[in-house]
Amino acid sequence: MFLYKRNNGYYYIYYSSSNGKIQAKSTKEKMKSQALKYLSTFEKELKGRPQNDLPKKPLGLFKFEFLRYSEMIRTAKTIKAYQSTFKYFEKMYSNKTIDSFTNNDIRNYLEAQLTKRSIYSARKDLINIKSFFRYALERKYIKENPCIGIKQYKIPEKQPIYFSKEEYDKLLSVIEDKEMKDLVITAANTGLRLMELLNLSWKQINISRRSIILDNSTHITKSKRIRTIPINNNILNILIEMKSNSKSDKVFSYEGRNADIYTSIAFKKYVIKAELNPKLHFHSLRHSFASWLIQSGISIYIVSKLLGHSDIKTTEIYSHLRNDDLQSAVNFL
């Protein structure tokens, strides 16, 4: 809020309204001292006004604005998740404005998703919807977040699907494409996610120090944290050869907005060709990396660091593979 003297000689107050627009109000004064008194009175009056003049922004218009903003700071995968949630959210509440949502509206929507879809869908939707309304609150489209008090769903623990060493060898034997084979071997020996691999650049790889540094320079990691992954003997020579033949800054040549989708599809074809469990997918290589380490006696803490998990509880899904400690414990009886 500030004073400004126009060409007509009168002072005007410029202030931001509840919808974020700049408004102007004349003080009807030409003397600054009188205009300042008017400003002081107006500020007190403005603070005392009931805040019921929230902008009536339709859900569809809000969706467009939110997605446009998110595209500047979120990954393509996150944007797709937002779009999916909005698709179902709009089906149920197409005629509502963003300021009219209540806590019960959100609960009713989630209950419907639990019935029609799954607990996994409802859980993901809740994460996304909370993001929607946090943004709406920041933009002053709502007075309070209608998601407050809604707890996240607890999903049943599932054993991650991973390749046995024999299955992994069988998979490699059917992959004719050299770059795909190099990609698979690198994934299985580093635990890197597919998008982390596809966005990996040579400047992030220090072969002399045998390390890969994910520094968020080419791709924002899921945890947003920088992490270092050691290069083991299984991929050292592969990376040396790849670098000597490389004509690009990127380690792998797969590019494009949907490179991850195309790569996943190609990988699944090799899984089927090897006559392995069709439920195995590219992310199963990351599970395999963690599972093989746990089975070799490596601690959960170290595996968690290598995977880049922000919470060790996430890594504990692999703890059931470490049965030796449990066996030793009961042997004391």
**Residue 288 — φ and ψ, nearest 5°?**
-65, -45
**Residue 40 — φ and ψ, nearest 5°?**
-60, -45
Residue closest to 262 by CA, chosen among 161, 186, 177, 189: 177
Q: Is the pLDDT of residue 273 over 90?
A: yes
Tens of pLDDT, residue by residue over 43-90, are 877 666 555 556 788 999 999 999 989 988 887 888 999 999 999 999
In this predicted structure, which of 46-50, 133-137, 254-258, 279-283 has the lowest mean pLDDT?
46-50
Q: Is the pLDDT of residue 245 over 70?
A: yes
275 burial (CB, 10 Å; 0-12 / 13-18 / 19+) is: exposed
> Which is more confidently placed, 257 or 117?
117
Q: Which residues pair with 13 in a beta bridge?
A: 3, 25
Q: Does pTM top 0.75 for this prediction?
A: no
Write the CB contacts of 134 (distance below 8 Å, at least 6 apart in sequence): 145
Across 9-29, average pLDDT: 77
8 A C-beta contact, residue 177 and residue 270: no
> Which is more confidently placed, 224 or 188?
188
Q: Is the pLDDT of residue 150 over 90?
A: yes
Measured distance CA(267)–CA(280) in Å, rounded: 10
Tens of pLDDT, residue by residue over 84-113, are 999 999 999 988 999 999 999 999 999 999
Residue closest to 126 by CA, chosen among 100, 98, 154, 99: 154
Quick one: pLDDT at residue 329?
59
Confidence category of residue 279, pLDDT binned at 50, 70, 90: very high
Tens of pLDDT, residue by residue over 24-44, are 889 888 988 898 888 888 887
Across 19-25, average pLDDT: 68
Measured distance CA(182)–CA(239) in Å, rounded: 9
8 A C-beta contact, residue 10 and residue 28: yes
262 C-beta neighbours (distance < 10 Å), count: 11
257 burial (CB, 10 Å; 0-12 / 13-18 / 19+) is: exposed
* Helix, strand or coil, per DSSP, at residue 262: helix
Measured distance CA(217)–CA(204) in Å, rounded: 9
Tens of pLDDT, residue by residue over 116-140, are 998 989 999 999 999 999 999 998 8
Quick one: pLDDT at residue 18?
57
What share of the chain has pLDDT > 90, as a percent? 52
The helix (run of H) or strand (run of E) holding residue 230 is strand 227-230
Measured distance CA(20)–CA(17) in Å, rounded: 5
Quick one: pLDDT at residue 326?
55
Across 307-313, average pLDDT: 84
Measured distance CA(272)–CA(117) in Å, rounded: 28
- Residue 32 tokens read as 């600054």
Quick one: pLDDT at residue 53?
58
Quick one: pLDDT at residue 35?
87
Quick one: pLDDT at residue 247?
86
Confidence category of residue 218, pLDDT binned at 50, 70, 90: low
Confidence category of residue 223, pLDDT binned at 50, 70, 90: low
- Residue 254 tokens read as 């797969």
Q: Which residues pair with 11 in a beta bridge?
A: 5
Nearest-10 Cα torsion for 242, 244, 245, 248: 80
- Residue 190 tokens read as 């580093």
Confidence category of residue 145, pLDDT binned at 50, 70, 90: very high
Quick one: pLDDT at residue 219?
57
- Residue 311 tokens read as 């919470």
Quick one: pLDDT at residue 154?
84
Quick one: pLDDT at residue 206?
93
8 A C-beta contact, residue 161 and residue 284: yes
Across 281-309, average pLDDT: 91
The helix (run of H) or strand (run of E) holding residue 157 is none
8 A C-beta contact, residue 19 and residue 55: yes
84 to each of 63, 119, 147, 255, how far by Cα in Å?
11, 15, 19, 24
